[in-house]
């Protein structure tokens, strides 16, 4: 019975991986395309001449962040406009590096999670957990006027869900302290290592500008908890030789 069950799980995991690789994750790829398109037309990319140059461009960038990003002090005031910013901020990125880093993680881990959850549920999961992560950060930093943007809270939730759903899948990762050698590890090692780094960084982070590590921790925790409650007892226990993709934690 045990051998037969393992064979069935292996077959199911391969089916999910094949479907994701064949372009069966339109929500994931659609989110990536949307984030890239938003960035390209924004004042941050430098490609849109309508935003001007020099001081005019800087002013346009500042106004862009204030309009679409989360400002904790304003969100805590309870205005209707501010309440929408945790959603709009998920599609705004501050730089090319910020955008590409987030999209890489979404590409690697999002497709399999979407295949497992289904398109509609994955969409709501992504938006809801992303919203929660940004609000959690705003609650802790309620007096801050620093604008918060980026999809990292939602993508952290995807990582948490992936860890719960596919704990034995293997990913290829590049670790700086190992001279950036590409090494293959079980997903749970990579993701737990990533989570610990975010947690430690959140403990030492100040209140000024920087990376919102607390939003990463909140999103990851929410994603893992959601997957554990929703798919408890039905997780795909992938074989140790399975591969999901490449990531750079």
Instruction: Write down the domain spans for the chain.
Output: 2-247
CA neighbor of 246 nearest in space, from 170, 178, 192, 194: 170
- What mean pLDDT comes out for the span 131-160? 91
Residue 249 CA to residue 207 CA, distance in Å, equals: 24
Residue 56 CA to residue 105 CA, distance in Å, equals: 33
Instruction: Reply yes or no on whether the pLDDT at 176 is more than 70.
Output: no
CB 116, CB 16: distance < 8 Å: yes
CA neighbor of 126 nearest in space, from 94, 156, 163: 156
What pairs with residue 173 in β-bridges?
183, 247
* pLDDT category of residue 245 using cuts at 50, 70 and 90: very low
Q: Is 209 helix (H, G, I), strand (E, B) or coil?
A: coil
How many of the other CB atoms lie within 10 Å of CB of 141?
A: 19
Instruction: Reply yes or no on whether the pLDDT at 87 is more than 70.
Output: yes
- Structure token pair of residue 35: 């984030």
According to CATH, what is the number of the domain 2-247?
1.20.1540.10
Give per-residue pLDDT as tens, 25-74: 999 999 999 999 999 998 888 777 777 677 888 888 888 888 999 999 99
Is 0.85 topped by the overall pTM? Answer: no
Instruction: Sort strands 243-247 and 182-186 into parallel, antiparallel or unpaired.
Output: unpaired
Q: How buried is residue 82: exposed, middle or buried, by Cβ count under 10 Å (0-12/13-18/19+)? A: middle
Mean pLDDT of the chain: 76
Q: How buried is residue 51: exposed, middle or buried, by Cβ count under 10 Å (0-12/13-18/19+)? A: buried
* pLDDT category of residue 9 using cuts at 50, 70 and 90: very low
How remote is the C-alpha of 116 from its chain's centroid?
17
- What mean pLDDT comes out for the span 74-95? 90
Percent of the chain with pLDDT over 90: 34
When comparing pLDDT for 179 and 137, which is higher? 137
Helix (H) or strand (E) holding 99: helix 96-117
């Amino acid at each position: 019975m045990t051998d037969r069950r393992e064979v069935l799980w292996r077959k199911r995991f391969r089916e999910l991986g094949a479907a994701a690789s064949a372009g069966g994750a339109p929500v994931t790829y659609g989110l990536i395309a949307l984030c890239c398109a938003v960035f390209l037309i924004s004042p941050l990319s430098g490609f849109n001449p309508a935003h001007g140059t020099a001081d005019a461009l800087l002013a346009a960038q500042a106004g862009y962040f204030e309009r679409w990003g989360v400002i904790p002090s304003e969100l805590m005031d309870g205005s209707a406009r501010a309440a929408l910013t945790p959603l709009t901020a998920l599609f705004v990125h501050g730089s090319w590096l910020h955008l590409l880093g987030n999209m890489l993680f979404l590409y690697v881990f999002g497709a399999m999670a979407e295949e497992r959850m289904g398109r509609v549920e994955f969409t709501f999961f992504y938006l809801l957990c992303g919203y929660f992560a940004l609000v959690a950060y705003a609650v802790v930093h309620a007096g801050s006027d620093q604008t918060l943007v980026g999809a990292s809270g939602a993508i952290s939730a995807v990582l948490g869900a992936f860890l719960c759903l596919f704990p034995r899948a293997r990913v290829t990762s590049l670790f700086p302290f190992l001279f950036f050698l590409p090494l293959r590890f079980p997903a749970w090692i990579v993701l737990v290592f990533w989570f610990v780094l975010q947690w430690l960084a959140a403990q030492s982070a100040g209140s000024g500008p920087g990376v919102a590590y607390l939003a990463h921790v909140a999103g990851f925790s929410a994603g893992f908890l959601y997957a554990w409650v929703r798919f408890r007892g039905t997780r795909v226990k992938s074989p140790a030789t399975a591969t999901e993709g490449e990531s750079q934690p």
